């Protein structure tokens, strides 16, 4: 018997498309309507994962034994680290925060710190993606190739007709700014190729042009002056402009300064028209991790509870820095996907200390952690909430039955066990 489930949200990228229809039979998803090239293989490989798998030092043990071992490690730790969170969901992120508070630990996420710090410094003119769809007549992708990284972004927010842009793609002018011609550049009306490491100069020149300041150089960052002036004019004369920026903007130069320049350009454009800036968030619920940490601690990442109250200091309390300097003696990873983002020295340190890992079925770490839990996937095995790239919370539905515990349940059980052992 095939069960057809409508309006399912996908968590594979920051678009969190919530219009998928899944056909489920025999504990598997067999058909995923409206899934894109990124999400379809992932959805079709999900199973009901009914075998609970918990390990201590690589050996299978009962869940309660693993919980007790994890609690012992964390209780004896003097400087624990809670890290990851982007593959979780609001309930798991909240539980991780509670455990960090209980332990006096440092908690850090895999979020894109330069972007968050830039918007803390200069503010952000933003909106929901719905507003972009219904109002924007100029869309810019800067350092982002959504045709590859967010395959349905163009379909949903550029091609789709909106209330004030009834012709959809026909009524919109699309610009791609990047260091090389990408798949998204192929479908754009204008491609602006910048030299690697020149984003800041180009953004600053655009700011000058938008403010009517004369440009003297013939070419800035590889972009001819005439093209820059035409681009600035198109942005100023838009009814509503939307600037989407991706990791390409932070790959060269000073990442935070580049994002700040783009956010300041957006602010400048609001003297002439309505313009908004948006981060092209990548895989996982990073927006959720930032948001949950913000409403639990007041800060989005790099938070230390070592003095019994939350303190925020990017750099000092960043997971990578703490591990590199040997200031962590035990860690709990809520999803191990962030390990690859750590430096080699930080990864080596992580492998030398007791680590508790909570991961989804099929995820593998490149070493054997002290304790390993396989946990349910939100939006597949459990309901939850994921924050879309515009920070709109989207409800996640359960589509497959599973006896796996959620990371929220495992984290809460570890917390109770630590309290009982103390």
What does the binding site for ligand SF4 look like in residue numbers (CB under 6 A)? 10, 12-13, 15-17, 35-36, 38-39, 150-152
Between 332 and 386, name the residue whose CB sits nearer to ligand SF4.
Answer: 386
Between 15 and 138, name the residue whose CB sits nearer to ligand SF4.
Answer: 15
For the bound state, the minimum distance from the C-beta of residue 43 to ligand SF4, rounded and expressed in Å, comes to 9
For the bound state, the minimum distance from the C-beta of residue 286 to ligand SF4, rounded and expressed in Å, comes to 13
Tokens describing residue 276:
């908004």
Between 17 and 356, name the residue whose CB sits nearer to ligand SF4.
Answer: 17
Between 12 and 66, name the residue whose CB sits nearer to ligand SF4.
Answer: 12
Cα 391 to chain centroid distance, Å, stands at 11
Between 10 and 177, name the residue whose CB sits nearer to ligand SF4.
Answer: 10
**What is the spatial distance between Cα 257 and Cα 280, in angstroms, rounded to a whole number?**
17
For the bound state, the minimum distance from the C-beta of residue 360 to ligand SF4, rounded and expressed in Å, comes to 16
For the bound state, the minimum distance from the C-beta of residue 36 to ligand SF4, rounded and expressed in Å, comes to 3
For the bound state, the minimum distance from the C-beta of residue 242 to ligand SF4, rounded and expressed in Å, comes to 17
Helix axes 199-210, 225-236, angle to 10 degrees: 60
Q: Are 4 and 11 in contact (CB under 8 A)?
A: no
For the bound state, the minimum distance from the C-beta of residue 380 to ligand SF4, rounded and expressed in Å, comes to 13
Instruction: Tell me the DSSP string of 317-328.
Output: T-HHHHHHTT--
Tokens describing residue 233:
């004019």
Show Cβ contacts of residue 26 under 8 Å, excluding neighbours closer than 6 positions.
none
3-state helix, strand, coil in the chain (%, to 5): 35, 20, 40
Tokens describing residue 115:
């972007």
Cα 289 to chain centroid distance, Å, stands at 8
User: φ and ψ at 280, to 5 degrees?
Assistant: -85, 85
For the bound state, the minimum distance from the C-beta of residue 396 to ligand SF4, rounded and expressed in Å, comes to 12
Between 129 and 138, name the residue whose CB sits nearer to ligand SF4.
Answer: 129
Between 229 and 283, name the residue whose CB sits nearer to ligand SF4.
Answer: 283
Tokens describing residue 332:
């709990």
Strands (E), 46-172: 54-56, 59-60, 80-84, 106-109, 138-142
- CA 39, 113, 279 angle in degrees (round to 5)? 50
**What is the spatial distance between Cα 110 and Cα 128, in angstroms, rounded to a whole number?**
23
């Amino acid at each position: 018997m095939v069960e057809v489930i409508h309006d399912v949200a996908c968590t594979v990228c920051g678009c969190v498309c919530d219009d998928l229809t899944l056909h489920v039979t025999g504990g598997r998803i067999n058909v995923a309507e409206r899934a894109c090239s990124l999400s379809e293989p992932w959805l079709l490989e999900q199973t009901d994962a009914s075998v609970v798998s918990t390990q201590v030092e690589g050996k299978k043990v009962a869940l309660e034994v693993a919980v007790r071992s994890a609690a012992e490690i964390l209780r004896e730790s003097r400087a624990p680290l809670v890290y990851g969170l982007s593959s979780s969901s609001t309930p798991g992120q909240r539980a991780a925060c509670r455990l960090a508070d209980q332990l006096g630990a440092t908690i850090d996420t895999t979020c894109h710190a330069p972007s968050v710090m830039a918007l803390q410094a200069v503010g952000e003119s933003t909106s929901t993606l719905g507003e972009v769809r219904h109002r924007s007549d100029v869309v810019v992708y800067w350092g982002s190739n959504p045709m590859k990284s967010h395959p349905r972004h163009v379909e949903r927010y550029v091609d789709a007709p909106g209330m004030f842009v009834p012709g959809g793609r026909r009524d919109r002018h699309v610009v791609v700014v990047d260091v090389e011609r990408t798949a998204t550049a192929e479908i754009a009306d204008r491609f602006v190729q910048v030299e690697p490491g020149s984003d800041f100069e180009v953004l600053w020149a655009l700011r000058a042009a938008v403010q009517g300041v004369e440009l003297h150089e013939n070419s800035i960052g590889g972009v001819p002056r005439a093209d820059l002036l035409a681009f600035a004019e198109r942005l100023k004369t838009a009814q509503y402009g939307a600037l989407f920026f991706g990791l390409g903007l932070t790959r060269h130069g000073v990442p935070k300064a580049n994002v700040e320049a783009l956010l300041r350009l957006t602010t400048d454009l609001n003297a002439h028209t309505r313009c908004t800036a948006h981060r092209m968030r990548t895989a996982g619920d990073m927006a959720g991790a930032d948001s949950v940490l913000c409403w639990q601690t007041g800060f989005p990442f790099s938070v230390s509870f070592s003095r019994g109250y939350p303190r925020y200091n990017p750099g000092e309390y960043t997971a990578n820095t703490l591990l590199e300097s040997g200031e962590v003696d035990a860690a709990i990873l809520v999803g191990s996907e962030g390990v690859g983002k750590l430096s080699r020295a930080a990864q080596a340190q992580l492998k030398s200390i007791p680590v508790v890992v909570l991961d989804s079925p099929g995820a593998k770490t490149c070493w054997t952690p002290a304790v390993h839990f396989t946990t349910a996937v939100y939006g597949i095995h459990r309901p939850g909430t994921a924050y879309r790239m515009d920070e709109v919370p989207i409800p996640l539905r359960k589509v497959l039955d599973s006896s796996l515990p959620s990371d929220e349940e495992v984290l809460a059980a570890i917390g109770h066990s630590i309290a009982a052992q103390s």
